[in-house]
Amino acid sequence: MFPGLDKEAGQQKAYAALSDDVLFDKQWVRVEVPPEDLPGYKSPRVVCARCGEGINFKREVLVHGRTLCRSCAGETYYQPL
């Protein structure tokens, strides 16, 4: 569209010149957002039976009938070096 310009400058000029109707498609959609993904959501809090740490957002793990945090259940997201 703008052969004398580098790619980035040409794109910027094209975006400025083109209408929103050309650049974007519009449609109505439904998005279901669970309550725990909403800002300020307070979920029920349970306590780890092993370490006593509070566990939010239903992240507890049941092991042999005991409610554990992921760390105590052996589901850590890190590996000790």
- List beta partners, residue 55: 46
Kind and range of the H or E run holding 47: strand 46-47
HSE at residue 26, side-chain half, CA atoms within 13 A, is 3
pTM for the model stands at 0.49
Q: Is the pLDDT of residue 80 over 80?
A: no
pLDDT digits (tens, 9 = 90+) for 32-79: 998 878 898 888 899 999 999 999 888 899 999 999 999 999 997 777
- Rounded to 10 degrees, what is the CA torsion of 12, 16, 22, 27? 90
Task: Please identify which residue in the block is written with the tokens 């209408």.
Answer: 19
